[in-house]
């Protein structure tokens, strides 16, 4: 599904990712953990194609295609989704209208027909309900005046509607209370069908308790420095990132 | 500018009818003051030199054909080529249309050169109408003003609109120019006690120079609300002055202007609280793309003794290109007590982060930009009533983004 090889990403004059390798197979859920500033969000933005995130070396392959050659909207239509760490407010743009335009734009790019409005509304409503979000949010402007938690859950609603093949979730759990966290985890699990893949960026092990990741990676200073199973997340939780230095010195 | 005077207002051409003395007086005032130049404060950002360059012919223009159909039921009065050729055979119940009594024009005063275009209108108008809305209208009343492609002369429409005590109406000015002449409108609107007017201005112009001066007087407990969708043209100057004359008067202006290359739009609004216990609100947005130029001057004047008045003025503006220009000036002049008056003014650009966010959801750049522009520009139209009119305005906006 996703194959990242020796990825180097530069913002301005600063190299942030310094040779990152990562491979995610179909149906797999991987977690990336790592200290603040280690480059987690940079990885998400580089995958999504943000301007100013220059790939200077290495490659990102998504289903055999070179992501670096694609515009952000092409990546989306191909099935890549990024849940933002800080979802952006879009004043004046109605949430439902936005969602439908986005879905139709992707479908059009894939040569599919426009979505039927009834079906669309049904999907959105079901997803709002499962995330315990007020339907009134559909009529509000995208993320505008949403609480921190509502913004994060709204990212999951978007994911549920857009049904990506690979979802990169950047700290979607931060700032959520335990109930909201469970809802988000359920939202992710509901999408797991053995084919869709997930890259879950998180600070805390607690989200992973509900997700059962296939692999856990530790990102530090622009590189994956450690990979393992769920037990790695537990160790990070217990010991913090301090042990990274020990391992790298050893 | 005297050549311009000669061209636009040759004395010999003044018609001899019952308005003749009024025209002569206006002509003299115009000759005395001349036209504004860039040193005239109110015309600082808008030059009329284009007028000089154009050799406008004289005489009535051609017919423009029927105005664009509206997606809702309405009564239409069509100023075809700027004049009312055939007074409507039948007017809706509660509406009267008659030539304006010359006595109404004897004492008008447009001041010095800042008011030159209004003096010019008074010196050169062919027709002056008085529209009376005597009782509440069942459906919107449309004043369609259309200028045809071949239009290259000058017209000076003049209209007085009275909304009688307690009457409610939706009045839509549907203005569409395809020509390259001068349209110089003066309109006076009076709301009697307790009247309610929803006033919509929808304008989409080509090359014509379009100058419109709208003065609104609002009596006790009357409610005036303007919604403007300014889709611009080569040169547009709109003056909209709302005078709150008696207690309980309310005046509101919500407008959006979308200006592109080769277009210049200047909106000068003024809300004047002449007495206390009056309220006003204004929100105006400009979006300028290409080499478009936008000017917004919003003046709130709370006169001495107009205590307990409340006003809110907000202008947000969006520059869509490096070459576009927007000049804004909110002016608050408060001489009363126990007043609340707030104002805000911003000029910004489309947010890269918002654009990226939308693109990651699959929207191509063009569509994403259109959505962001729409999100910005639709706000002032969202309070328009009734719903059919609001939806029409929003669709018209969407169509140009
Ligand atoms: N737009 C930017 N310009 C310059 N440096 C940036 C920018 N965005 C992030 N960085 C830097 O890149 C590093 C990694 O940031 P980020 O990927 O956000 O880390 P994380 O998500 O792991 O906390 C940090 O040192 C940060 O200061
Ligand atoms: Mg981050």
The pLDDT tens digits for A168-191 are 999 999 989 999 999 999 999 999
CA distances from B215 to B131, B200, B241, B268, B349 (A): 15, 14, 5, 12, 33
How many CB atoms are closer than 10 A to CB B139? 14
- CATH of region A2-93+141-249: 3.40.50.300
What is the CA(A215)–ligand 1 centre distance, in A? 24
How many CB atoms are closer than 10 A to CB B2? 9
CA distances from A88 to A84, A175, B205, B270, B320 (A): 8, 16, 36, 36, 20
A51: nearest CB among B356, B358, B379 = B356
Distance CA B282, CA B302 (A): 14
Q: CB neighbours of B8 closer than 8 A, spacing ≥ 6?
A: B51, B56, B120, B124, B154, B182
3-state helix, strand, coil in chain A (%, to 5): 45, 30, 30
Percent of chain B with pLDDT over 70: 97
What integer pLDDT is reported at residue B366 of this predicted model?
Answer: 96
The bridge status of strand B158-163 relative to strand B128-133 is parallel
3-state secondary structure B174-218: EEEECCCCEEEEEEEEEECCCCEEEEEEEEECCCCEEEEEEEEEE
Count Cβ neighbours within 10 Å for each residue of A95-104 and write b for 16 or more, e otherwise: bbbbbbbbbb
State the alpha helices, DSSP H only, in B281-384.
352-360, 365-377
Distance CA A31, CA B382 (A): 44
- Does the pLDDT at position B33 exceed 50? yes
- Mutation probe of ligand 1 site: the residue of A8, A11, A35, A220 with most atoms within 8 A of C-beta: A11
Distance CA A118, CA B344 (A): 41
Average pLDDT over residues A54-76: 97
Cβ–Cβ below 8 Å for B371 and A91: no
Ligand 2 is an ion; its neighbours by CB within 5 Å are A 40-41, 85
Nearest CA in chain A to B371: A93
Average pLDDT over residues B91-115: 96
- Does the pLDDT at position B1 exceed 70? no
B371: nearest CB among A49, A72, A101 = A101
What integer pLDDT is reported at residue A249 of this predicted model?
Answer: 43
Check pocket membership of A16 for ligand 1, CB cut-off 6 A. yes
What integer pLDDT is reported at residue A241 of this predicted model?
Answer: 80
The bridge status of strand B182-191 relative to strand B223-230 is unpaired
> Encoding tokens for residue B255?
């407008």
What are phi and psi for residue B97, nearest 5 degrees? -130, 125
Nearest to B304 by CA among B332, B334, B261: B334
What integer pLDDT is reported at residue B9 of this predicted model?
Answer: 66
Read off the pLDDT of residues A9-30 as tens digits, 9 standing for 90 and up. Answer: 999 999 999 999 999 999 999 9
Q: What is the pTM of this model?
A: 0.92
Check pocket membership of A39 for ligand 1, CB cut-off 6 A. yes
Nearest to B127 by CA among B172, B80, B93: B80
- Does the pLDDT at position B281 exceed 70? yes
C-alpha B31: how far from its chain's center?
26
What integer pLDDT is reported at residue B12 of this predicted model?
Answer: 60
Cβ–Cβ below 8 Å for B375 and A92: yes
- Does the pLDDT at position B217 exceed 70? yes
- Does the pLDDT at position B172 exceed 50? yes
Taking the CA of residue B354 and the nearest CA in chain A, the distance in Å comes to 6
Read off the pLDDT of residues A124-138 as tens digits, 9 standing for 90 and up. Answer: 999 999 888 899 989
What integer pLDDT is reported at residue B11 of this predicted model?
Answer: 63
Contact B141, B92 (CB under 8 A): yes
What integer pLDDT is reported at residue A151 of this predicted model?
Answer: 95
- Does the pLDDT at position A250 exceed 50? no
Where does the pLDDT of residue A242 fall: very low under 50, low under 70, confident under 90, or very high at 90 and above?
confident
- Does the pLDDT at position B106 exceed 70? yes
Residues of B in contact with A105 (CB under 8 A): 361-364, 367
Residues of A in contact with B367 (CB under 8 A): 101, 105
Average pLDDT over residues A65-76: 97
Taking the CA of residue A64 and the nearest CA in chain B, the distance in Å comes to 20
Cβ–Cβ below 8 Å for A73 and B376: no
Contact B180, B153 (CB under 8 A): no
Distance CA A75, CA B64 (A): 49
Per-chain mean pLDDT for chain A:
93
Torsion of CA A219, A223, A229, A234, to 10 degrees: -30
Percent of chain A with pLDDT over 90: 86
Average pLDDT over residues B254-274: 98
Residues of B in contact with A48 (CB under 8 A): 356, 360
Where does the pLDDT of residue A98 fall: very low under 50, low under 70, confident under 90, or very high at 90 and above?
very high
Residues of B in contact with A89 (CB under 8 A): 354
What integer pLDDT is reported at residue B14 of this predicted model?
Answer: 64
Average pLDDT over residues B267-289: 98
Check pocket membership of A37 for ligand 1, CB cut-off 6 A. yes
What is the residue whose two structure tokens read 């919107």?
B140
ipTM of the complex: 0.96
Check pocket membership of A38 for ligand 1, CB cut-off 6 A. yes
User: A with B: how many residue pairs have Cβ under 8 Å apart?
Assistant: 79
The bridge status of strand B182-191 relative to strand B158-163 is parallel
Where does the pLDDT of residue B13 fall: very low under 50, low under 70, confident under 90, or very high at 90 and above?
low
Residues of B in contact with A90 (CB under 8 A): 354, 357-358, 371-372, 375
Check pocket membership of A13 for ligand 1, CB cut-off 6 A. no
What integer pLDDT is reported at residue B89 of this predicted model?
Answer: 83
Where does the pLDDT of residue B63 fall: very low under 50, low under 70, confident under 90, or very high at 90 and above?
confident
What integer pLDDT is reported at residue B16 of this predicted model?
Answer: 80
Contact B173, B145 (CB under 8 A): yes
- Does the pLDDT at position B43 exceed 50? yes
B376: nearest CB among A71, A92, A158 = A92
């Amino acid at each position: 599904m996703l194959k990242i090889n020796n990825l180097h990403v530069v913002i301005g004059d600063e190299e942030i990712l310094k040779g990152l390798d990562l491979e995610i197979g179909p149906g797999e859920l991987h977690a990336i953990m790592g200290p603040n500033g280690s480059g987690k969000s940079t990885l998400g933005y580089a995958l999504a194609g943000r301007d100013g995130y220059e790939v200077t070396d290495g490659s990102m392959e998504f289903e055999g295609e070179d992501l670096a050659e694609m515009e952000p909207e092409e990546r989306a239509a191909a099935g890549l989704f990024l849940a933002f760490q800080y979802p952006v407010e879009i004043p004046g743009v109605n949430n439902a209208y936005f969602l439908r335009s986005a879905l139709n734009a992707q479908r059009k790019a894939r040569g599919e027909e426009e979505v039927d409005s009834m079906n669309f509304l049904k999907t959105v409503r079901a997803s709002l309900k499962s995330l315990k979000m007020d339907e009134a949010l559909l009529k509000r402007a995208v993320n505008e005046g949403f609480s921190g938690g509502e913004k994060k859950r709204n990212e999951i609603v978007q994911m549920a509607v857009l049904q990506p093949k690979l979802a990169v979730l950047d700290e979607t759990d931060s700032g959520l209370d335990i109930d909201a966290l469970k809802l988000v985890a359920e939202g992710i699990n509901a999408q797991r069908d053995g084919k869709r893949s997930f890259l879950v960026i998180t600070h805390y092990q607690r989200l992973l308790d509900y997700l059962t990741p296939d692999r856990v990676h530790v990102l530090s200073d622009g590189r994956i420095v450690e990979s393992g199973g769920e037990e790695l997340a537990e160790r990070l939780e217990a010991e913090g990132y301090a042990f990274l230095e020990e391992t790298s010195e050893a | 500018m005297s050549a311009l005077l000669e061209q636009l207002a040759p004395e010999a051409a003044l018609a001899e009818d019952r308005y003749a003395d009024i025209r002569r007086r206006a002509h003299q005032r115009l000759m005395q003051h001349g036209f504004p130049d860039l040193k005239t404060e109110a015309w600082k950002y808008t030059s009329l030199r284009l007028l000089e360059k154009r050799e406008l012919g004289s005489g009535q223009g051609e017919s423009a054909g029927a105005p664009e159909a509206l997606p809702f039921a309405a009564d239409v009065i069509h100023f075809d080529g700027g004049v009312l050729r055939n007074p409507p055979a039948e007017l809706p119940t509660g509406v009267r249309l008659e030539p304006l009594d010359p006595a109404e024009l004897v004492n008008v005063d447009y001041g010095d050169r800042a008011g030159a275009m209004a003096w010019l209108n008074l010196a050169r108008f062919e027709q002056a109408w008085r529209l009376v809305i005597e009782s509440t209208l069942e459906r919107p009343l449309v004043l369609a003003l259309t200028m045809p492609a071949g239009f290259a002369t000058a017209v000076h429409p003049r209209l007085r609109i009275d909304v009688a005590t307690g009457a409610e109406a939706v009045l839509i000015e549907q203005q569409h120019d395809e020509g390259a002449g001068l349209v110089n409108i003066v309109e006076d609107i009076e709301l009697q006690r307790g009247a309610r007017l929803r006033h919509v201005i929808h304008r989409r112009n080509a090359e014509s120079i379009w100058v419109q001066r709208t003065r609104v007087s609002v009596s006790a407990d009357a409610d005036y609300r303007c919604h403007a969708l300014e889709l611009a043209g080569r040169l547009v100057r709109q003056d909209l002055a709302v005078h709150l004359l008696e207690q309980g008067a309310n005046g509101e202006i919500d407008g959006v202007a979308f200006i592109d290359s080769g277009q210049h739009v200047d909106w000068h609004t003024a809300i004047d609280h002449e007495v206390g216990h009056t309220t006003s609100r204004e929100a105006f947005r400009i979006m300028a793309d290409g080499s478009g130029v936008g000017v917004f001057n919003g003046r709130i004047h709370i006169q001495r003794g107009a205590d307990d008045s409340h006003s809110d003025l907000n202008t947000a503006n969006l520059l869509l290109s490096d070459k576009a220009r927007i000049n804004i000036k909110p002016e608050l002049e408060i001489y009363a007590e126990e007043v609340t008056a707030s104002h805000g003014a911003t000029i910004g650009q489309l947010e890269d982060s918002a654009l990226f966010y939308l693109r990651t959801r699959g929207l191509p750049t063009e569509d994403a930009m259109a959505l962001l522009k729409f999100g910005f520009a639709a706000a002032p139209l969202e309070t328009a009533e009734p719903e059919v009119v609001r939806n029409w305005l929003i669709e018209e906006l969407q169509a140009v983004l």
